[in-house]
A and B are shown apart, each in its own frame.
Chain A
Amino acid sequence: GESVGLHLPTLSVQEGDNSIINCAYSNSASDYFIWYKQESGKGPQFIIDIRSNMDKRQGQRVTVLLNKTVKHLSLQIAATQPGDSAVYFCADYAGGTSYGKLTFGQGTILTVHP
């Protein structure tokens, strides 16, 4: 079936480094993608989104890149801080007639060392 998956389950970086979290999706009909951050004991928190008519979008310290040719999505975090330590999920809308059906990846655990 269609799924959104993550290449690496864990990522460890030093404080101040840039982090890159990758995501592969399989549904060519997907037209909207979201990144969420989930800290321990909390619900997923919206970080940034991108539509399929774009290949790059920037937020505060975060950039999302979309490569539709290879169905790849990445989240770049600049100057990573200890507070960025969390699980990061990508999700996509599969399109079609299903209401609100976001498909989530399993998540990448980001650990930032001071």
Chain B
Amino acid sequence: ETGVTQTPRHLVMGMTNKKSLKCEQHLGHNAMYWYKQSAKKPLELMFVYNFKEQTENNSVPSRFSPECPNSSHLFLHLHTLQPEDSALYLCASSLAARPLPAGGETQYFGPGTRLLVL
């Protein structure tokens, strides 16, 4: 079991619903990430937060809204999603986020939230 937890583990929502995914890391890291993992596709980076500041938005649609209140917590707010958004959403953390000096960039992942949009 890693030091990164995610809730809920499973979520079913309609296209008009609003829901939030939560991630918490207990590793003392300063960077947190959201990834999307779809069947038969490589992991897709969505957002990067470094010291609570969003440093990367990988062209993610606005129906996904991240929030990082502190270095230990990360949320992904979901609204008016589409069925093609159904996927495993993974949170990760690292001591630091590149391009800071190398040495703390290894990312550790949570178990993910399996999302189904109907």
Contact = CB atoms under 8 A, between A and B. Distances in A.
Interface centre among A44, A93, A107 (most CB of B within 10 A): A44
A102 B48 CA distance: 11
Interface stretch (A12-20, A45-53, A60-68, A74-82): A45-53
Interface centre among A96, A98, A106 (most CB of B within 10 A): A98
Contact of A100 (B48, B109, B110, B111): B48
B45 to A, nearest CB: 6
Interface size class of A (residues with CB under 8 A): 20 to 34
A45 B50 CA distance: 21
B105 A32 contact: yes
A24 B114 CA distance: 29
Given A98-B56, A100-B31, A106-B41, A46 B99 contact: no
A89 interface: yes
25 contacts: A4-B42, A31-B102, A34-B106, A42-B111, A43-B90, A43-B109, A43-B110, A43-B111, A43-B112, A45-B2, A46-B106, A46-B107, A89-B43, A95-B98, A97-B99, A98-B56, A99-B50, A99-B56, A99-B98, A100-B98, A100-B107, A102-B45, A103-B42, A106-B41, A107-B42
Interface of A: 4, 31-32, 34, 36, 41-46, 49, 51, 89, 91, 93, 95-107
Given A43-B6, A45-B109, A89-B43, 14 more contacts: A43-B2, A43-B92, A45-B2, A46-B107, A93-B98, A97-B99, A99-B31, A99-B55, A99-B99, A100-B33, A100-B50, A102-B107, A106-B40, A107-B42
